[in-house]
Structure 1
Amino acid sequence: MEEYVYIDGKKYRRGYTTGSCAAAASKAATHMLLTKNKIETINIDTPKGIPLSLKVHNINICSDYAQCSIEKDGGDDIDATHTMHIYAKAEFIDRANEDIVVCGGIGVGVVTKKGLSVEVGKAAINPVPMRMIHTEVRSVIGSDLKNTIGEDKSLKITISAPEGVEVAKKTFNPRLGIIGGISILGTTGIVEPMSDDGWKKSLSIELQMKKEQGLDKIILVPGNHGEQFIKEKLGLDMKYVVRTSNFIGYMLKEAQRMGYKKILMAGHIGKYIKISAGIFNTHSKVADARSEILVSNLAMMKAPYEFLERINECVTAEGAVELIDESDYKDIYNLISNKCKSKIDQYLLDEEIEVEVMMFKMDKTLLGKSDDADSLVEVFR
């Protein structure tokens, strides 16, 4: 795909989603089912307004069905599904409730938990890709299938992804209760390189699922280390835990929007020290003032200049922790934790939401906590 965007002065190639692949494969398979002729490329429209002309692979035309695949291309935003093939099988079946029936085959996950945009028990084909499939297939068979094949038949489209069972293990699907394969995704049909939107949406979906399952309190952690801290050090039920990655401000606002009233936050000092200064996207490319924040707080605690110099020379927060642990300034951990809480309270401006913070170091040892963190931990037991 020769579509590009420029980000921070660099040129990045766009790609197309698994939803576009499914729609294109469905259209191509339907065309070949009707004509019994192979085609090399297929054209589709995308919600983004960018038309695609995609190469058709793995063609198999039989008397009663046609099948083919489209190779996923993530552009310069490569993910777990990049280069995998999304298949569509088109066949006529005895008359169903609809002219066009779309279902999932091998490698397409099945939804098992509430809170997603697809019903429990259905194939994980999201609403926009589903509409794209119907639109593209309808463009081949016409507005009335009865005129094409008769009143006693429907067209069945089966979307599959043979590599999807393994690929799904590298995605958020297991956490979202989508079992057996990948999801067919994409709200625009186009993959925007270097975009955080899809990642943030996946995190938010998990938060929404927990809410719809009846939870009114949540534990937010940046990632694996936070999960391990909650499980191994606090012994809390992991059903409450949702990852934020670096999008801490976004996930706090999402939790507020969804009506959570109690939020326990646990993270490594390297990320949470940024929150104490009001930095709510903790990716280093957005802001990295760890050393400056530590030095300024230690200075306010009247630490000697020589000690501040040594802290400032530390490349990592973990290195600074080693120095602080040997000093008389270990109270800084609780201080920073309380500052995190204060900044979060200012960020949310919602007195009904109780937020407490815990910070740990790399070996999951607790460093500091906000004043009422222990009380909130007990609420989760």
Structure 2
Amino acid sequence: MDTTLPLPRSGYTLPVFACAGAVAALRCLLDSGDRSATIILDLLNPPQPADIPIAQLAPLPDGSVLAITHSDPGDNLDLTRHTPIWSLVAWGQSDQPEPIQIEGGEGVGRQVNQANAPAIYRYARALIIHNLTPLIPPGKTLRVTIILPEGRALGDRTSNAAFGVVEGLSLLGTAGLSEPLSAPGQLDQARDVLRDKAARYRHLVFCLGENGLDLAVQLGIEGDRRVKTANWLGPMLVEAGQLGVAGVLLLGYHGKLVKLAGGIFHTHHHVADGRQEILAACCAAVGVELPLVQSILTAKTVEAGLEILRQQEAALAQLVYQYMVDRIDERAAAYVYAHAAQSLIVGTMVFDRQRQIVAQSHLAKDLFNQVLVD
């Protein structure tokens, strides 16, 4: 009997469903008899087509058309699974600044650091413009409004607020495919990538997701040296040790990597959290006074706890950060040795929600120089 597990199924990111709904709505706006059940999109990244089902489509009394799709992120632990995405399309004003005006409605988050602009990012906008522009008649403009009816409630369950996005979800991502990085089968694919890179580089950079991957390049790190681990940091570090990698630089958001300081090496929130508890323990370890430790422990989020610490005293916050990243190095090296009986040098760099480096361990400074030169 074949016991091989099937490869995890990929899905699509939220921008893809928003765009598909906008295309279906525009077609109906052009021809009320066009009620396409499926829309074929060009994903741009990767440059391939995607068939996206349209759940509902209806012209509205004000002359606009509403299309509804449902998110399908594939075999991944994703809280947006099956959430409805509404795409409302209407003719625009002749004097609007762009041929396609893209707006965020209910459930699309606001970027508080960007004058409350809707959290509809570059890829989502490029995807919509690319797929809708060829359909617009000469002399016409469009207004596209994306609505996420469940977005406000779902946004409260994410770390969006830590990155300055409030009151909803983001149409985030740099690509159309949603790879199931939390699904067990995906770990094997990540290991294959790691094996290939370990054969060519002595020092590597591990990033959990897109924010770290992007920042690594901005810091001057060669793109091919990066390894996307998603939440599988423990198994990926062990694999690196077994492959004889000399050193790994961990580059990640401080509110996520803090888990490693407490010995949690699978970082998905479905597995374990404890971030406030770990942060409070780090504070206690460097002598923060008990009332402040208690305030951090009872904070609603780790980001709120960190803000309490920053407001108290900048030097104290930096002391806690330094302890945290050095502690991550120690726990990571011990984890690899315990599971692989191999030594691996691990250094940690953490960034905040503005993608600014806020702390780096002593080992990270040396490793950063190594990944730039060897």
TM surpasses 0.5 = yes
Contact 2:29-2:59 within 8 A present in 1 as well = yes
CA-CA distance at 1:261 after TM superposition? 12
Distance 1:92 1:198 in 2: 42
State the match for 1:14 in structure 2: 10
CA-CA distance at 1:265 after TM superposition? 3.7
Contact 2:23-2:131 within 8 A present in 1 as well = yes
State the match for 1:135 in structure 2: 130
Contact 1:276-1:343 within 8 A present in 2 as well = no
Q: 2:32 aligns with which of 31, 36, 60?
A: 36
CA-CA distance at 1:140 after TM superposition? 1.7
Does residue 266 (structure 1) correspond to residue 315 (structure 2)? The answer is: no
Distance 2:79 2:154 in 1: 6
Letter in structure 1 aligned against 2:173? G
CA-CA distance at 1:205 after TM superposition? 8.3
Q: Describe the SS at the equivalent of 1:44.
A: strand
In the TM superposition, what are the counterparts of 1:194-209 in structure 2 within 5 Å? Answer: 194=181, 199-202=208-211
State the match for 1:59 in structure 2: 57
Contact 2:88-2:144 within 8 A present in 1 as well = yes
Are residues 276 and 224 of structure 1, via their aligned partners in 2, closer, same or farther at CA, if it must alter by over 3 Å? same
Are residues 230 and 29 of structure 1, via their aligned partners in 2, closer, same or farther at CA, if it must alter by over 3 Å? farther
Q: 2:281 aligns with which of 202, 219, 229?
A: 229
Distance 2:56 2:150 in 1: 14
State the match for 2:82 in structure 1: 83
Does residue 348 (structure 1) correspond to residue 368 (structure 2)? The answer is: yes
Q: TM-score w.r.t. structure 2 length?
A: 0.57
Letter in structure 1 aligned against 2:111? V
Q: Describe the SS at the equivalent of 2:67.
A: strand
State the match for 1:354 in structure 2: none
Distance 1:202 1:224 in 2: 22
Are residues 349 and 138 of structure 1, via their aligned partners in 2, closer, same or farther at CA, if it must alter by over 3 Å? closer
Are residues 231 and 262 of structure 1, via their aligned partners in 2, closer, same or farther at CA, if it must alter by over 3 Å? closer
Distance 1:191 1:166 in 2: 22
State the match for 2:170 in structure 1: 183
Distance 2:212 2:159 in 1: 8
Distance 2:279 2:29 in 1: 49
Query: Runs of 4 or more off by more than 6 Å in structure 1?
Result: 195-198, 203-207, 290-294
Aligned-pair identity in percent equals 21
Q: Describe the SS at the equivalent of 1:135.
A: helix
State the match for 2:250 in structure 1: none
CA-CA distance at 1:171 after TM superposition? 1.6
Distance 1:240 1:79 in 2: 30
CA-CA distance at 1:288 after TM superposition? 6.1
Distance 1:120 1:205 in 2: 23
Does residue 122 (structure 1) correspond to residue 117 (structure 2)? The answer is: yes
Letter in structure 2 aligned against 1:348? F
Contact 1:109-1:182 within 8 A present in 2 as well = yes
Are residues 193 and 141 of structure 1, via their aligned partners in 2, closer, same or farther at CA, if it must alter by over 3 Å? same
State the match for 1:375 in structure 2: none
Contact 2:155-2:168 within 8 A present in 1 as well = yes
Q: Describe the SS at the equivalent of 1:186.
A: coil
Q: 1:239 aligns with which of 307, 316, 333?
A: 307
Q: Describe the SS at the equivalent of 1:289.
A: helix
Contact 2:21-2:69 within 8 A present in 1 as well = yes
CA-CA distance at 1:342 after TM superposition? 5.4
Letter in structure 1 aligned against 2:176? G
CA-CA distance at 1:267 after TM superposition? 7.1
Contact 1:172-1:202 within 8 A present in 2 as well = no
Letter in structure 1 aligned against 2:52? L
Letter in structure 1 aligned against 2:209? K
Q: Describe the SS at the equivalent of 1:33.
A: helix
In the TM superposition, what are the counterparts of 1:265-304 in structure 2 within 5 Å? Answer: 265-266=323-324, 272-276=329-333, 287=336, 289=338
Are residues 20 and 231 of structure 1, via their aligned partners in 2, closer, same or farther at CA, if it must alter by over 3 Å? farther
Distance 1:134 1:227 in 2: 43
CA-CA distance at 1:90 after TM superposition? 0.4
CA-based RMSD of the aligned residues comes to 3.9
Unaligned residue ranges in structure 2 (runs of 5+): 191-205, 217-253, 260-274, 297-304, 311-317, 344-359
CA-CA distance at 1:100 after TM superposition? 1.1
Instruction: Provide Cα deviations, 1:332-360, integer angstroms capped at 9, x if missing partner.
Output: xxxxxxxx96544442349xxxxxxxxxx
Unaligned residue ranges in structure 1 (runs of 5+): 1-7, 114-118, 208-217, 243-259, 295-339, 351-381
CA-CA distance at 1:241 after TM superposition? 8.1
Distance 2:106 2:59 in 1: 19
Bigger CA radius of gyration? 1
CA-CA distance at 1:226 after TM superposition? 3.0
Are residues 36 and 228 of structure 1, via their aligned partners in 2, closer, same or farther at CA, if it must alter by over 3 Å? farther
Are residues 204 and 225 of structure 1, via their aligned partners in 2, closer, same or farther at CA, if it must alter by over 3 Å? farther
Instruction: Provide Cα deviations, 1:44-73, integer angstroms capped at 9, x if missing partner.
Output: 011212311111123221351100111111
Distance 2:86 2:167 in 1: 16
